[in-house]
Amino acid sequence: MNSSSRVAVLDYGAGNVRSIMNALAVMNCDAVLTDKPEDIEASDKLIIPGVGAFAYCMSQLSESGLDVAIKRFAHSGKPILGICVGMQMLFDASEEYGEHPGLGLLPGRVKRLPIETNDAIRLPHIGWNNVEFAEKDVSMCAEFYFVHSFACFPDKPGDVYGASEYAGVTFTSAVKRNNICGVQFHPERSGAAGIGFLTDFVEAGK
Amino acid sequence: MRVIARLDIKNEFVIKGIHLEGLRKVGDPCDLAKQYYENGIDELLLMDAVASLYDRNNLFHIIESACREVFIPITVGGGIRQLSDIDAALKSGADKVAINTGAVNNPDLIREASMRYGSQAIVASIEAKRAGDSWTAYVDNGREPTGKSVIEWSEELAELGAGEIIVTSIDQEGTKKGFDIDLIEQVNRAVTIPVIACGGLGTTTHIEQLVDRVQPSAIACASVFHYKVLGITDIKQTLIGCGRKVREAA
Amino acid sequence: MVNYQSNISVESHSLDEQYTKNPSMPLQAFNGLPADVAFCKQCVISNQRPNSTIEFKHTANEKKQVINFDNEGVCSACRFHDEKEQGIDWQQKEEQLKELLSRFRRTNGGYDVIVPGSGGKDSAYTAHVLKYKYGMNPLTVTWAPHLYTDIGWKNMQNWMHVGGLDNILFTPNGKLHRLLTRLAFVNLLHPFQPFIVGQRIIGPAMAAKFDVPLVMYGENQAEYGNAIDENEKPKMDEKFFSVQDPGDIVLGGKTITQIMDEYGYSINDFTPYIAPKKELLEQHNVEVHYLGYYLKWDPQECYYYAVEHTGFQANTERTEGSYSKYSSIDDKIDVFHYFTTLIKFGIGRATYDASQEIRNGKITREEGVHLVRKFDEEFPKKYFPEFLEYIGLTEQEFWDVVDQYRSPHLWYKDEDGHWQLRHRIWEG
């Protein structure tokens, strides 16, 4: 096992970073929580957490210059994992609280889940849900924890890595293109299944 | 439907009252959190039972400890009064915050917080006591009546941007005599955001009675877990039996 | 029209002026209370806290016996509690209880213990546990509150209907009771006195009447601060409920004879307030015990027990002057009892409640201080109009009476003319 694989977790003031760090600690990952472009650049993998409103998160990134660091990292070919809003920001734009541009690393938009609420169906989509992954080596039966009202709508079907169903509507719950990966759910909050997913990400390519 | 374990905490102890009164100690927060996580609970709700009473926040170090070994969503409530409190809660490891007294005193807090952190991180908490045909909202852990109608207040909270509402029946909580189904039904109907029903679970029949009439997004239980009356599996099996989708305990 | 010149002869307003002009003048302490105010180092009670009085001998100018503080500044209630935690063999005490009960237990259809109480958490626990755990056959007896609250009435009914107990509710002549309350308020600033007198008497009196020798109260008053050696005894001292000559009885600061003369009552009207004669009690072998002597007493656990077994419900809102919702919630006058202790001793309800919870390990002293600061001086607005009507005073008359009892060593007037306590536990 390549023990010198270092994972940078982006610290940009909007994300439940502590859970991610704790989860990474459990798998003995060499992880660093950072807001410094040089640390990011020096790492082998990057995780972009995300809790909060899209616009706010993006403004935190652009004000700190970390948006540039992310793009540079993406173009280096090293693996990136975006979680929840972190995944959403990979795309061109979001419609949450108005029109806001994203990082544009993946073509597509972020839009409200087209759900009709009723007694039993609610928005935000909060709770555990199955994910059907495109690749067969990822567990098909596991449930992960979702908490969102908006979802990603990738332009390219080939980018869809995982799909879920809520209230009869299928939406993209995971994306992947080359080194860029994103998940709408929170692996650091999805119990053993989530830890398994993160472990796969951390260990991949070793 | 999610099954949530609610831990009311005072200093270093999990406590359990009846009608939100009484401070009987029932266990250690981190031990219980870990135990429930390992037994398949879907989420944890950690409430500081006396934050409003003593004008302080005490739970953050407990959250930090619990988070090291527990990898499911954690909501923290009690004494959340301003954005900096929310910041501290999320930084210590919480995913969501539950706000009651803070919102009654300053409804804009909900609006600002949901804009800043996203509505999904903001759970509005309502303590409801029956008053004739309707319910009045209370604050300070069931200590002070606000004169607000619970149904109208829940509508307002949803409009302000809350992501979820947790409604606790003061009349039923701690009694193990069943949910206040009318209350949950009416709150659920009043809003389109997820509603978490809390207060009164004692037997699996109570779950069947509840689900027969209303589909809340989640139920939060305390007494049955802390006093080992029901297991998490018992509850989930019952829900499955009623045709609800639940996360298989893992 | 009630003459409300109290027995305290100086006007406190002019007294306060004198002290303001002469700051070095030693401050007078009414009723012989300790001149220096101190707070217990472990709980939050102050050294002004009076011990239980023999109510039917209570006069306005009497010197008050107060709770004892030892050399380390710790009060006797805390010391008693510390002893409770360490020194006492509770198993042995329970054996003593069982042995006591076996002496009185009846299995042939008849009551074998009188439990006085209101159906509040303490008496609810006492009666229920005696019946359902220890196999006794209690008759609960209730001396009616001055003014029943809705929740108090409901809890009392549930005590019977849910708890499964027998009860006799005794309501004294409302007109006389009201007069006595008014007199007690004006002459002693102690509106609760008639209730306390009745409550203490009714147990032994009923015991004698029904020929049921054993009376069991809940907690020992020493639990709350009488002399520690009072706790060595399981029984209530008969001085609290027995009197030789009815003429000796003083109610509302007046002798019964005076009240009869001034208001046209007869000795028969005072029947409920006349404590049984010693001989009568001896004849019926009446013994008055405290369950708190035999079983470890935890008022909060009584709350849980009462909810689970007797249909007890806490109040819908916090009691004014304190933070809890389950203590003493059946009488509208109750809050004014604590308001008057605030005036006379600088101690409000929150102080009493918090001190007890500190001793029982429910809260820390720091938390207790915070609660006292937050709630102790809160005025009981909710039932104020009803209280004024009950005692027949206007609001102005109410404050005129109250102000006369502000001892200079406790109170002063600030620059805005508002009364302030000189010593507050959270200040320094």
Task: Give me the pLDDT at residue C255, please.
Answer: 86
Of C308, C298, C100, nearest to C216 by C-alpha is C100
Contact B232, B40 (CB under 8 A): yes
DSSP per residue, C59-122: -TTPPPPB--B-TTS-BHHHHHHHHHHHT--HHHHHHHHHHHHHHH---SSS--EEEE--SSHH
Q: Which residues of C touch B55 (CB under 8 A)?
A: 370
Task: Give me the pLDDT at residue C411, please.
Answer: 93
Residue B77, beta-bridge partner list? B47, B98
Task: Give me the pLDDT at residue C12, please.
Answer: 61
With CB atoms and an 8 Å threshold, state whether B37 touches A23: no
When scoring B8, B12, B15, B18 by the number of chain C Cβ atoms within 10 A, the one with the most, hence best to mutate, is B18
Looking only at the bridges linking them, the beta strands covering A80-83 and A93-94 are unpaired
The lowest-confidence range among C20-24, C103-107, C329-333 is C20-24
Question: Of these residues, B42, B43, B85, B127, which one is catalytic?
Answer: B127
Residue C324 has pLDDT above 90, yes or no: no
Those chains having 3 or more beta-carbon pairs within 8 angstroms of chain A are B
* Angstrom distance (rounded) from CA A80 to CA A48: 7
Work out the pLDDT band at A24, boundaries 50, 70, 90: very high
Residue C138 has pLDDT above 60, yes or no: yes
Whether the CA torsion C119, C124, C130, C136 is positive or negative: it is: positive
Task: Give me the pLDDT at residue A52, please.
Answer: 79
Question: Of these residues, A100, A125, A148, A186, which one is catalytic?
Answer: A186
Residue in B19, B23, B144 closest to C314 by CB: B19
Task: Give me the pLDDT at residue A195, please.
Answer: 92
Mean pLDDT (whole number) for C241-248: 68
Query: pLDDT of A72-98, one tens digit each?
Result: 999 999 999 999 999 999 999 999 888
Task: Give me the pLDDT at residue C9, please.
Answer: 39
Whether the CA torsion C134, C135, C139, C144 is positive or negative: it is: positive
Q: What is the DSSP letter of C231?
A: G
Residue in B71, B114, B164 closest to A189 by CB: B71
Average pLDDT, chain B: 91
* A186 touches B at CB < 8 Å: yes
A-contacting residues of B 33-62, CB under 8 Å?
37, 42
* Angstrom distance (rounded) from CA C376 to CA C350: 5
- pTM value is 0.82
Residue A192 has pLDDT above 50, yes or no: yes
Work out the pLDDT band at C3, boundaries 50, 70, 90: very low
* Angstrom distance (rounded) from CA B167 to CA B197: 6
Query: pLDDT of B92-109, one tens digit each?
Result: 888 899 999 999 999 999
Region of A111 on the Ramachandran plot (φ > 0 left; ψ -120 to 50 alpha; else beta)? beta
Question: Of these residues, A84, A96, A125, A152, which one is catalytic?
Answer: A84
With CB atoms and an 8 Å threshold, state whether B164 touches A126: yes
Distance (Å) from the C-alpha of residue C13 to the closest C-alpha of chain B?
36
Q: Which residues of C touch B22 (CB under 8 A)?
A: 300, 303-304, 326
Query: pLDDT of C147-177, one tens digit each?
Result: 999 999 999 999 999 999 999 999 999 999 9
ipTM: 0.88
Task: Give me the pLDDT at residue C242, please.
Answer: 64
Task: Give me the pLDDT at residue B65, please.
Answer: 86
Distance (Å) from the C-alpha of residue C290 to the closest C-alpha of chain B?
24
Query: pLDDT of C47-56, one tens digit each?
Result: 998 876 666 6
Task: Give me the pLDDT at residue B11, please.
Answer: 82
* A168 touches B at CB < 8 Å: no
Residue C2 has pLDDT above 80, yes or no: no
Work out the pLDDT band at C310, boundaries 50, 70, 90: very high
Could you tell me which residue, C362 or A72, shows the higher pLDDT? A72
**For chain B, which residues lie within 8 Å of any Cβ of chain C, measuring from their own Cβ?**
11, 18-19, 21-24, 50, 53-55, 129, 140, 142-145, 174-175
Residue C86 has pLDDT above 80, yes or no: no
Give exposure, A14-23, as e/b (b: 16+ Cβ within 10 Å).
bbbbbbbbbb
The lowest-confidence range among A51-60, B230-239, C16-25, C315-324 is C16-25
* A68 touches B at CB < 8 Å: no
Residue B139, beta-bridge partner list? B144
Task: Give me the pLDDT at residue C325, please.
Answer: 86
